[in-house]
Amino acid sequence: MAILDIKNLGISFGGLRAVDNFNLSIEKGELYGLIGPNGAGKTTVFNLMTGVYKPSDGIIMLDGENITGKNTVEINKAGIARTFQNIRLFKNLSVLDNVKTGLHNEFAYSTAVGIFRLPGYFKDERLMDEKALSLLKVFDLDGEKDYKASNLPYGKQRKLEMARALATSPKLLLLDEPAAGMNPNETKELMETIKFVRDEFDMTILLIEHDMRLVSGICERLSVLNFGQVLCQGPTGEVLNNPEVIKAYLGD
Amino acid sequence: MLKNMKKSTRSNIITYAMVIVAYIVMQTLVSTGSVTNLIQGLLVPLCAYSILAVSLNLTVGILGELSLGHAGFMCVGAFVSAAFSKINATSIENDLLRFIIAIIIAAVCAGIVGILIGIPVLRLKGDYLAIVTLAFGEIIKNVMNVIYLGVDSKGIHFCITKASDLNMESDGKIIINGATGITGTPHSSNFTIGVILLLITLFIVLNLINSRSGRAIMAIRDNSIAAESIGIDLTKYKMLAFSISAMLAGVAGALYSHNLSTLAATSKNFGYNMSIMILVFVVLGGIGNIRGSIIAAIILTLLPELLRAVNDYRMLIYAILLIALMLFNSSPAGINFREKYGIGRLLHKNGPDLSETAGTQRAHHVEGAGKKGV
Ligand SMILES: Nc1ncnc2c1ncn2[C@@H]1O[C@H](COP(=O)(O)OP(=O)(O)OP(=O)(O)O)[C@@H](O)[C@H]1O
Ligand SMILES: [Mg+2]
């Protein structure tokens, strides 16, 4: 059974049909790419999936659960975590605390336990520290754990965002242009990390990316979006050689 | 020993120690008779202002919402606690016990008002939130001015017109007399209790910041969209921070009112003047910097008194010092100065460890540390 099943998803902003009749089905453990020219509606699809926008049409099923119309918090609890195209870290928190914030719902000791330092506090904080550190290690960020997040270089900020999203133990991870602003070396390293995350955590990943080396290097299947509509979808090799796709990217 | 601790723990210990040392020094000075009556009279208000500044910093610095109505919560705490103490002045004989109950009632009532106001207000952002909190603060103050409350053998009487409308028996006693307020509140506050309440406030706020809920609150401050995306309930944690902040302001109000023989809600003590003054403490002490709030509250409260000797230039010097404090806190030069002389160095021993990017990284680091002001 598909872990994600989207049927006939659509939304309009005023007169603009930003996403229209969008269908997508992803299997568990798949690494799936969503590509398309600027303004095609890719980020809007993520925003619809995570409850930032309410869809005007369609149904979104996650692992058999209908999550259409739920709010962002409920959807995260249901199992979708994401990163953002324009990085959204907790700038003034330390790198470690950014990830620990992602563990908010897993180690849910109460406010009173936190204020009065009851025994649960120390136990949960220790477990959170351990888990957050092990996630930081995956992204090679453990050395910078006490840095303020805003003091990390750009590429590491993107990785930290991934670590934070993973901390919520999602079923599906959405990455919005994870390689944006990275140099070729960093991108290569990122590709390894993404593959590692998929294998290590048995994760299903849907990513938006403009960098075709990354897309062709790690995505197993692709959907191409153009003017809010799916132009074509299928195995990566086939899609990238589709004349219509090439035309959409290069223009007429 | 201090070295192996988490830097937040270390910084908290310094804050507690600072308050305790200041207390001991002050007590010694008082007992040797080297403090003027005027300054002695300021000691309890000082504790109240410090508590207010710390609690407002929870809303402004930690939650990141600008509130201009903080004096309103203090006002609620001051009046309910004073009314309680006056009603029970004879029935609860132990002064300390009565005061403790009064403080708890003040905290609870201010917290409830905080929640009631928070429900509509926390939907707003930025300037709008500031304006609406300002209005609520004024409303609370004005409501206090029209309340009449009395007790007699038949029980409690209440009205909002005039004292004679209370219709009390001949043995009746007026507790709150409209704009005249409350007179004859038991004088239960003292410097020691004030400092203990300040330490409790610090304990609550600092522990909150270094806990799961505190991280959630700061996450919302830094990026609410990202906070939601990892499953943090915005409304819940905004309300939590706002109501704890209001509760603590209520405690400050109780401390304040039990230090006065006459309590009336004027614009000077509970109006926006007071709210702005508390905000000045928070801003000058460094937004989000709890220790700074206390230091700023102390300096700015004592200064006008200490400068009485040079009366003609008092306000001039005060203004210059305000500007100097601001520069020290937020200008790049001030931040560098603090870095150089150790105030910031304690916090960031990790900079140079990162050999590959040591140079630039360090520079960023220094700048960032100053902005947060910790
Ligand atoms: N909240 C909104 N209100 C109005 N229009 C919007 C809104 N969000 C997105 N749009 C419009 O919807 C279209 C799709 O935007 P979207 O951000 O999804 O594109 P994208 O495929 O992610 O592009 P890019 O590759 O540049 O990130 C654009 O025309 C955009 O202007
Ligand atoms: Mg986009």
Mean pLDDT within B261-266: 90
Chain B residues touching residue A121 (CB < 8 angstroms): 211
In a domain, B25, yes or no: yes
Q: pLDDT class for B2, splitting at 50, 70, 90?
A: low
Q: pLDDT class for B363, splitting at 50, 70, 90?
A: very low
Which of the residues A49, A92, A113 would you substitute to probe the B interface, choosing the one with the greatest number of B C-beta atoms within 10 Å? A92
Give how far A14 is from chain B: nearest CA, Å.
23
DSSP state, residue A94: B
Give the atom of ligand 1 at the shortest distance from the alpha carbon of A47.
18
Give how far A18 is from chain B: nearest CA, Å.
21
Cβ <8 Å between A115 and B226: no
Is there a contact between A175 and A82 (Cβ–Cβ < 8 Å)? yes
In this complex, is the C-beta atom of B236 within 8 Å of any C-beta atom belonging to chain A? no
Among the ranges given (A121-135, B167-181, B252-266, B333-347), the one the predictor scored with the smallest mean pLDDT: B333-347
Q: pLDDT class for B362, splitting at 50, 70, 90?
A: very low
Q: pLDDT class for B179, splitting at 50, 70, 90?
A: confident
Q: Calculate how far, in angstroms, residue B216's C-alpha sits from the geometric centre of ligand 2.
A: 27
In a domain, B130, yes or no: yes
Give residue B215's domain range.
2-145+181-372
pLDDT tens digits, one per residue of A134-164: 999 999 999 999 999 999 998 999 999 999 9
Cβ <8 Å between B354 and A143: yes
Q: What is the pLDDT of residue B340?
A: 65
Q: What is the pLDDT of residue A9?
A: 97
pLDDT surpassing 60 at residue B164? yes
Q: What is the pLDDT of residue B38?
A: 86
Count structural domains, chain B: 1
pLDDT tens digits, one per residue of B194-230: 999 999 999 999 999 999 999 999 999 999 999 999 9
Q: What is the pLDDT of residue B56?
A: 97
In a domain, B18, yes or no: yes
In a domain, B86, yes or no: yes
Q: How far apart are CA A198 and CA A193, in angstroms?
A: 9
Q: What is the pLDDT of residue A252?
A: 52
Q: If you count DSSP H runs as helices and E runs as strands, how many of each does chain A have, helices first?
A: 10, 10
DSSP state, residue B312: G
In a domain, B171, yes or no: no
How many CB atoms lie under 10 A from the CB of residue A174? Answer: 24
Give how far A147 is from chain B: nearest CA, Å.
8
Q: Calculate how far, in angstroms, residue A39's C-alpha sits from the geometric centre of ligand 1.
A: 5
Ligand 1 pocket residue status of A49, Cβ below 6 Å:
no
In a domain, B150, yes or no: no
In a domain, B175, yes or no: no
pLDDT tens digits, one per residue of B282-291: 988 888 999 9
Q: Name the closest-CA residue to atom 16, ligand 1.
A: A41
Nearest residue to A161 (alpha-carbon basis) of B158, B33, B219, B86:
B219
Ligand 1 pocket residue status of A19, Cβ below 6 Å:
no
CATH code for the domain of B230: 1.10.3470
Cβ <8 Å between A121 and B361: no
Which residues have C-beta within 8 Å of that of residue A148, sequence separation ≥ 6?
A91, A92, A93, A94, A95, B365, B368, B369, B372
Q: In this predicted model, which residue has the larger pLDDT, B162 or B185?
A: B185
Largest Cα separation within chain A, whole Å, is 66
- Inter-axis angle of helices B126-144 and B95-121, to 10 degrees? 140
Q: What is the pLDDT of residue B322?
A: 76
Is there a contact between A89 and A180 (Cβ–Cβ < 8 Å)? no
Residues within 8 A of B (CB atoms), A 193-232 only: none
Largest Cα separation within chain B, whole Å, is 84
Nearest residue to A46 (alpha-carbon basis) of A88, A15, A107, A105:
A88
Residue B20's Cα: distance from chain center in Å? Answer: 18
Q: What is the pLDDT of residue A54?
A: 95
Q: What is the pLDDT of residue B1?
A: 52
Is there a contact between B5 and B368 (Cβ–Cβ < 8 Å)? no
In a domain, B136, yes or no: yes
Mean pLDDT within A106-132: 96
Q: pLDDT class for B235, splitting at 50, 70, 90?
A: very high
Which residues have C-beta within 8 Å of that of residue B310, sequence separation ≥ 6?
B317
Mutate to test the pocket of ligand 1, among A12, A16, A227 (most ligand atoms within 8 A of CB): A16
Residue ranges and CATH numbers for the domains of chain A are: 1-79+171-252 (3.40.50.300), 89-169 (no CATH)
In this complex, is the C-beta atom of B233 within 8 Å of any C-beta atom belonging to chain A? yes
In this complex, is the C-beta atom of A99 within 8 Å of any C-beta atom belonging to chain B? no
* End-to-end Cα, chain B, rounded Å: 21
Between strands A31-35 and A221-226, the pairing is parallel
The ligand whose atoms approach the alpha carbon of A210 most closely is 1
Ligand 1 pocket residue status of A41, Cβ below 6 Å:
yes
pLDDT surpassing 80 at residue B366? no
Q: What is the pLDDT of residue B313?
A: 77
Q: pLDDT class for B309, splitting at 50, 70, 90?
A: confident
Mean pLDDT within A8-14: 95
pLDDT tens digits, one per residue of A225-243: 999 999 999 999 999 999 9
